[in-house]
């Protein structure tokens, strides 16, 4: 391995060890300190979406929350000429006020 790549390899191995055994390295977490799982459901989309802001409003959320749950959405629209099937995560109703 090259010198630079070798440094990253050891950092990754060290990070995996810390995440596997956090208490051994002084990271003590209580259950209430951890993030809660946000319940979501999937919406299938096989057509173009011209405006994700309007799309999000249909489900009672805003664009920011839509992007938070779907970071793979890079643009404010979806061109889907090939009619590929996409799954978009939508948080269940009542989680965000």
Contact criterion met (CB below 8 Å) for 37 and 95: no
**Residue-level pLDDT at 26:** 93
Q: What is the mean pLDDT of each run of 10 residues along the chain (97 residues)?
A: 82 94 90 88 95 95 95 94 95 85
Neighbours of 89 (CB within 10 A): 14
Closest to 54 (Cα-Cα) out of 77, 70, 87, 86:
77
Residue 45 and residue 15 in one domain = no
Give the pTM. Answer: 0.68
Closest residue by Cα to residue 48 from 82, 84, 88, 79: 79
Does 66 share its domain with 44? yes
Same domain, 54 and 25: no
Residues 23 and 55 in one domain: no
On whether both 52 and 83 belong to a single domain, the answer is yes
């Amino acid at each position: 391995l090259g010198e630079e790549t070798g440094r990253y390899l050891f950092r990754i191995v060290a990070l995996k060890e810390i995440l596997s055994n956090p208490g051994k390295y002084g990271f003590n977490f209580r259950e209430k300190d951890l993030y809660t799982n946000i319940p979501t459901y999937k919406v299938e989309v096989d057509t173009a979406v011209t405006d994700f802001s309007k799309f999000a409003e249909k489900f009672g959320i805003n664009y920011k929350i839509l992007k938070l749950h779907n970071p793979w959405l890079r643009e404010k629209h979806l061109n889907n000429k090939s009619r590929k099937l996409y799954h978009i995560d939508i948080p269940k109703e009542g989680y965000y006020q």
